[in-house]
């Protein structure tokens, strides 16, 4: 009796049975004329390949519908499957057996994720006799459930792959049959061949459309189931993680400290949030007050600064005008002094030029006289030589004396030179005498 019940449940939960039944009902309605739409009949029941495509589509859609119903039922029952709160000091691993019996409730016959996760986690504690690696085992169970959920869509993925293949197969078969039936005697009736080819391509269009519907539906249901798995992971972790005493903390003190730290952290977070909100409100009020205060202060400050700046700028203007006047007077006086000094310098320069010209003329005269003296000395020397040679030395002395007097009369400047020359000439005369 138990095996019969199990088999009947499996049959009722089989997507093959439900999909085949839905396809049979659909084609029955089409054959009896209840469904008479032209396009429905053409694309869904116009060829035997389309019958297979629609049948596969109904099976895949039934599988997805059953997945969706199971997911919704499990989401609604998450609150019903929970463990009692753990004591403050934690539970001994030996109490896991009693907790496992509490999990076996209304979801015992269901292949639900949360009850199975809790039972498997508690079974790990029972088998090992400790809970040191329970958190790692929970992560492993989460991965197993994820792989299980992914594998449950294997039939749908196969149908999504098989439907387009059947469509292409129907097209190939239709083209082959149309070409095989084509003969030279039937060339005039080419319209029938074209109609057959059109029907053959309809299978591919139907296959692609049905595959797209299945793929989209699968995507939506997978996302819903993944959300369920996330909730299961969170609830299982909250129920079992840190619940039992470990070997290092058998007295439960460390666990109590951890729970206390968690509570303190949550309280601190709430306090910080409330403080942040208060600071935001205070900031708003202070901002408004500061805006009003600084608005009036700015106006008063502007007025005060405007008056002070006007007075300061006026005084600065007067000071600059006075300084400019004084500098202008000083500049004019300096320019006058400089002009007078330059005029005096010009007059002195002119006088200096006249003196230099006079000195130049005198120097020229002196040079000319010096040249005459040199020539006279040369003549005198030659005369002396001649006198000495002729024996008329005394006459030469007298002539020389006369020439010297003549030169002294011409240039008083050469008087000193004459006397010196006479002095020099006297000695030889005395020597000669």
- What is the rounded CA–CA span in Å between residue 40 and residue 46? 9
pLDDT classification of 239: cutoffs 50, 70, 90: confident
Q: What percent of the chain has pLDDT over 90?
A: 12
Question: Mean pLDDT over residues 109-124, rounded?
Answer: 79
Helices 113-128, 134-151: inter-axial angle, 10-degree rounding: 140
Question: Mean pLDDT over residues 24-32, rounded?
Answer: 86
Quick one: pLDDT at residue 431? 39
- What is the rounded CA–CA span in Å between residue 186 and residue 193? 9
Quick one: pLDDT at residue 213? 93
Residue 224 near residue 166 (C-beta atoms within 8 A): no
pLDDT classification of 425: cutoffs 50, 70, 90: very low
Handedness of CA 254, 257, 261, 263 (dihedral sign): positive
Listed residue (116, 80, 118) closest to 99, CA to CA: 118
pLDDT classification of 218: cutoffs 50, 70, 90: very high
Quick one: pLDDT at residue 59? 92
Task: Give the residue extent of every domain in the chain.
Answer: 9-250, 363-432
pLDDT classification of 7: cutoffs 50, 70, 90: low
Centroid of chain to Cα 65: 47
153 backbone dihedrals φ, ψ, rounded to 5°? -95, 15
Max avg pLDDT among 26-35, 74-83, 126-135, 154-163: 154-163
- What is the rounded CA–CA span in Å between residue 150 and residue 152? 5
- Over residues 242-257, the pLDDT tens digits come to 777 776 544 445 545 5
Residue 54 near residue 210 (C-beta atoms within 8 A): yes
Question: Does residue 25 have a pLDDT over 80?
Answer: yes
Max avg pLDDT among 2-16, 66-80, 253-267: 66-80
Question: Does residue 161 have a pLDDT over 80?
Answer: yes
Stronger pLDDT, 229 or 390, i.e. the higher one: 229
- Over residues 367-391, the pLDDT tens digits come to 888 888 888 878 877 876 765 665 5
Q: What percent of the chain has pLDDT over 70?
A: 70
Listed residue (143, 158, 174, 150) closest to 49, CA to CA: 174
Quick one: pLDDT at residue 61? 92
Three-state SS for 107?
A: coil
pLDDT classification of 337: cutoffs 50, 70, 90: confident
- Over residues 301-335, the pLDDT tens digits come to 566 656 666 676 677 778 777 877 888 788 787 88
- What is the rounded CA–CA span in Å between residue 139 and residue 137? 5
Residue 119 near residue 83 (C-beta atoms within 8 A): no
Question: Does residue 187 have a pLDDT over 70?
Answer: no
* Average confidence score pLDDT of the chain: 75
- What is the rounded CA–CA span in Å between residue 22 and residue 45? 14
């Amino acid at each position: 009796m138990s095996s019969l019940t199990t088999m009947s449940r499996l049959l009722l939960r089989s997507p093959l049975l439900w999909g085949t039944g839905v396809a049979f009902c659909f084609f029955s309605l089409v054959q009896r004329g209840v469904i008479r739409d032209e396009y429905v009949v053409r694309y869904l029941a116009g060829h035997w390949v389309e019958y297979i495509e629609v049948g596969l589509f109904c099976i895949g859609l039934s599988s997805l519908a059953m997945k969706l119903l199971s997911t919704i039922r499990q989401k609604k029952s998450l609150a019903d499957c929970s463990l009692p709160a753990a004591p403050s000091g934690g539970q001994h691993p030996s109490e896991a057996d009693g907790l496992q019996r509490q999990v076996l409730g209304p979801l015992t016959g269901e292949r639900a994720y949360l009850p199975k996760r809790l039972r498997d986690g508690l079974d790990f504690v029972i088998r090992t006799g400790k809970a040191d690696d329970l958190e790692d085992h929970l992560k492993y169970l989460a991965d197993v459930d994820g792989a299980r959920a992914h594998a449950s869509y294997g039939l749908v993925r196969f149908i999504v792959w098989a439907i387009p293949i059947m469509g292409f197969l129907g097209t190939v078969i239709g083209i082959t049959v149309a070409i095989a039936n084509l003969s030279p005697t039937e060339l005039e009736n080419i319209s029938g061949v074209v109609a057959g080819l059109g029907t053959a391509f309809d299978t591919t269009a139907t296959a692609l459309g049905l595959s797209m519907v299945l793929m989209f539906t699968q995507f939506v249901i997978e996302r819903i189931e993944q959300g369920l798995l996330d909730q299961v992971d969170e609830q299982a972790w909250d129920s079992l993680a840190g619940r039992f005493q470990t070997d290092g903390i058998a007295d439960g003190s460390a666990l109590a400290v951890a729970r206390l730290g968690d509570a303190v952290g949550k309280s601190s977070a709430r306090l910080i949030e409330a403080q942040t909100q208060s600071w935001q409100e205070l900031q708003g009020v202070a901002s408004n007050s500061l805006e009003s205060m600084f608005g009036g202060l700015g106006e008063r400050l502007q007025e005060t600064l405007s008056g002070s700046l006007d007075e300061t700028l006026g005084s600065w203007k007067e000071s600059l005008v006075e300084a400019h006047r004084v500098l202008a007077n000083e500049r004019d006086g300096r320019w006058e002094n400089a002009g007078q000094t330059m005029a005096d310098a010009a007059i002195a320069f002119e006088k200096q030029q006249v003196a230099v010209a006079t000195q130049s003329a005198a120097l020229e005269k002196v040079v000319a006289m010096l040249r005459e003296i040199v020539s006279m000395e040369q003549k005198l020397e030659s005369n002396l030589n001649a006198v000495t040679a002729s024996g008329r030395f005394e006459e030469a002395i007298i002539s020389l004396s006369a020439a010297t007097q003549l030169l002294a009369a011409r240039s008083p400047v050469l008087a000193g030179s004459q006397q010196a020359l006479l002095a020099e000439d006297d000695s030889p005369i005395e020597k000669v005498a």
